[in-house]
Amino acid sequence: MTIALKLFELVDGKTRQISFSPAVWRAKFALHYKNVPYESVPLTFLEIPTTIPNMCKNLTSPTVPTLQLESGEGMVDSFAIAEYLEENYPDRPSLFGKTASEKHLQRFFESYVQSKLHPAIQRMVYLPMYGMQDEPNALYFRSSREKSSGRAHDLITGNRDDNLRELKENLALVHTQLLRTGSWILGSHPGWADFVLASAFVWFNACTPNDFEEAILDAYDDQVIRNYWIKVQQYVY
């Protein structure tokens, strides 16, 4: 069977086996939840600017994730990809729910994850991500992160104890919601909000599993977040 869709995703430069980008994983979770087959096209940081425009002629400023459609055109941005899947596979489980309000609330949660969880995770995975790259990609990664953060290489990670404290504080609302629902962020079934959160967890775990264990899974004395992570695994492949 020919698979019409191709997903361009970011992998490490040394093994080319580790998919760690949270933006990419949002698209992957959406595809997996919708049970839509696709072909993965793994790329390193330095391969993205040349490979994607060569295969998707409509894109001149490529990024990941990019979903190449049956037409050959590329679609960027995980949320746009999720909307495309929702529109084109309406018979599959819904990512956003039945109403516009549900969708808007999930986008609000997306903003919360990006603003409250991502920064500390980003600091904690910086050095592991750097170590996962081959030399050319490591040079690119270091220079681009120094430029975007305005900090020298050895200062980007910040203080580990501060990062752990920030994550636990900002994870509190997530923990409370999972306690309340007893299952997923949305309740009895997952959706976009869950996949945004799970993508942050996959990113953290892929880069530094021991820190992920301490900062996320062991952040609270109960098993609520650990059980949530176990349930997420059915969509991680």
- Is the domain of 182 the same as that of 155? yes
- Is the domain of 41 the same as that of 113? no
- The rounded distance, in Å, linking the Cα atoms of 237 and 235 is 6
- Is the domain of 212 the same as that of 187? yes
- The rounded distance, in Å, linking the Cα atoms of 191 and 11 is 25
Looking up tokens 């079934």 gives: 189
- Is the domain of 78 the same as that of 152? no
- Number of folded domains that form the chain: 2
> At 74, is the secondary structure helix, strand, or coil?
strand
Question: Where would I find the beta strands (DSSP E) of 6-62?
Answer: 6-10, 39-43
Interval 161-197: pLDDT, tens:
999 999 999 999 999 999 999 999 999 999 999 999 9
Interval 52-98: pLDDT, tens:
999 999 999 999 999 999 999 999 999 999 999 999 999 999 999 99
- Is the domain of 175 the same as that of 145? yes
- The rounded distance, in Å, linking the Cα atoms of 197 and 174 is 9
This prediction has a pTM of 0.97
Is residue 93 a part of any domain in this protein? no
* Beta pairing, strands 6-10 & 39-43: parallel
**Packing angle, helices 118-131 and 192-207, rounded to 10:** 40
In sequence order, the β-bridge partners of residue 19 are 11
Is residue 1 a part of any domain in this protein? no
